[in-house]
Structure 1
Amino acid sequence: MELIYQGKTKDVYKLEDGNIQLMFKDDVTGEDGVFDPGANTVGLTIDGVGKAGLKMTTYFFEKLREKNIPTHYIKTNFDDVAMIVKDAEMFGNGLEVICRYRAVGSFYRRYAAFCEEGQALDSFVEVTIKDDERGDPPISKEALTLLRVVTEAEYDQIVSLTKEISQIVKETLADKGLELFDIKLEFGRNKETKEIMLIDEISGGNMRVYDKDGTYIEPLQLETYLF
């Protein structure tokens, strides 16, 4: 297999059959040693978080498959801490889509003059450009369509899928007595069919979760609640 990209939390390989293998790492995003799913740098390394993230991702992707929601997921190899996925085209250099249920993290830091920390946001969807040099800036639907990164129809579909997928995750966590504050998702086009599909992962490393007492649940701990 051919290494095509080394990411912050995963390495990406091209397989001989044209599919992609994602190798999960023990790194998570954050700043100054504090985890933040919306951050654009590796903030810390947590032993075992890669395998925990793969286990959770597999669980949610299989749940989405049952609901006929399009994803890049094919199968998982837990021994290699790897997931085999369909090849995908990025939107531009990549977009991150965050569904926010509470005003925390980067959202609160930007808009603290207009909201209280932890304020309910009613599944607000925010799109940012993957651009480490510029701090992954938020971008509007109008700007994305003007720059021809997505069409209006594609943007609307991404927002709709984000809300649907995030609600499934939220309800799953609620069944375990947990509350989802926000979650970061990524989408791409299937290289063969051009269908928009969920890519990357769904794990503790890209969401912020709290228990009923308002205690933050670390990414590695989240697995123990689900399984």
Structure 2
Amino acid sequence: MNNKYELIYEGKAKKVFSHDDVDKVIIEFKDDATAFNALKKAKFEGKGKLNCLISARIFEFLIKKNIPTHFIELKNENTIIAQKIKVIPLEIVLRNTAYGSLCKQTTIRPGTDLAKPLIDFYLKNDELNDPLITKDRIELMNIISSNDLNLIVDLTLKINEILKIFFKNIQLRLIDFKLEFGYDSKNNILLGDEISPDNCRLWDLNQKNDTIVSLDKDRFRNDLGGLIEAYSEINRRINKVI
């Protein structure tokens, strides 16, 4: 990145830089992979580029479906230009199928299709390990108004319906995903962060005998190997249909 741009923030998977326009930022995707709140770390060459390209295509698709997002344009293969937002310190997780932490915290069996999508809220706080949080606690902590939280829930449900169809068209089943939102300079709520195999669970539908083949970060979490191959396959399928 050119030295004229100031590093504003560095997270686990991305760097955010200033832009000539104060209402915009430059977001660079890193090759780092982390899991279990960064207790497990590794680098995979090309991962940042793949997540960037996949995210850009998905954001473009969501924008066509009237979802407000921070995405403006792809700058290069591992960098996007985005609206500058004040990030709301909540992670919004929507689950269509029970897997991962939901099954560790409940008696629901892994792979169970949920009667309706479940939305969980997590407080974005590394020191507290991003704990599960209730609507009442969100209100108690004055993180966001109940009206804005309701708006985010509605947007998340709409995004889920759009993404389920998007991924089904490329033979992927959307198990669950994590979203982040923020406010732009006019106080509009925009979808931020990224949408990629890093924050979506995606199972390959091209399998027989109900075998689960994950094409997402579970390949790293669960030591399955083939992370770059899985992400490359998703990128290939998206480019085939878009």
| Whole-Å separation in 2 of the counterparts to 1:95 and 1:124 | 16
Quote the residue 2:27 is aligned against.
Answer: 22
Q: Give the equivalent residue in structure 2 for 1:87.
A: 84
Tell me the equivalent position of 1:168.
162
> Which letter does structure 2 place at the counterpart of 1:184?
K
1:4 Cα deviation after fit = 1.1
Give the letter aligned to residue 167 of structure 1.
E
User: What pairs up with 1:21-170 in 2 under 5 angstroms?
Assistant: 21-31=26-36, 39=37, 43-79=41-77, 81-91=78-88, 94-111=89-106, 114-121=107-114, 122-170=116-164
Q: Matches of 2:214 and 2:236 in 1, distance apart?
A: 14
User: Which residue in 2 is equivalent to 1:222?
Assistant: 234
Aligned length: 214
Q: Distance in 2 between matches of 1:63 and 1:171?
A: 11
1:95 counterpart letter in structure 2: L
Deviation at 1:180, TM superposition (A): 0.8
TM-score by length of 2: 0.83
Aligned mates of 1:64, 1:70 — CA distance in 2: 8
User: 1:167/1:43 Cα in 2 relative to 1: closer, same or farther (>3 Å)?
Assistant: farther
Mapped to 2, the partners of 1:46 and 1:142 lie a distance apart of 40
In 1, distance between residues paired with 2:182 and 2:39? 22
Given that residues 100 and 125 in structure 1 are in contact (C-alpha distance below 8 angstroms), is that contact kept between their aligned partners in structure 2? yes
Supply the AA of the counterpart residue of 1:127. F
1:222 Cα offset (Å): 2.0
Contact 1:30 1:44 survives alignment (8 Å): no
What secondary structure sits across from 1:28 in the alignment? Answer: strand
2:39, 2:237 → 1: CA distance?
27
State whether residues 3 and 11 of structure 1, in contact with CA within 8 Å, keep that contact through their aligned partners in structure 2.
Answer: yes
Offset at 1:178?
1.3
Q: For 1:204, what is the secondary structure of its paired residue?
A: coil
Q: CA deviation at 1:42?
A: 5.5
Superposed CA RMSD in Å reads: 1.6
Distance 1:42 1:170, change over 3 A: farther
Name the TM-score, length of structure 1 as normaliser: 0.88
What fraction of aligned residue pairs are identical, expressed as a percent?
32
Unmatched tracts of structure 2, length 5 or more: 217-229
Write the distance in 1 (CA, Å) between the matches of 2:190 and 2:111: 30
Q: Is the 8 A contact 1:100 1:182 kept in 2?
A: yes
In 2, Cα distance between the equivalents of 1:84 and 1:11? 12
Q: Is 1:205 aligned to residue 217 of structure 2?
A: no
Gaps of 5+ in 1: 32-38
Kept after mapping to 1: 8 A contact 2:102/2:108: no
- Which of structures 1 and 2 has the bigger CA Rg? 2
Distance 2:14 2:86 in 1: 17
The separation in 2 between residues aligned to 1:43 and 1:226, in whole angstroms, is 27
What SS is found at the alignment partner of 2:190?
A: strand
Superposition deviation, residue 45 in structure 1 = 2.4
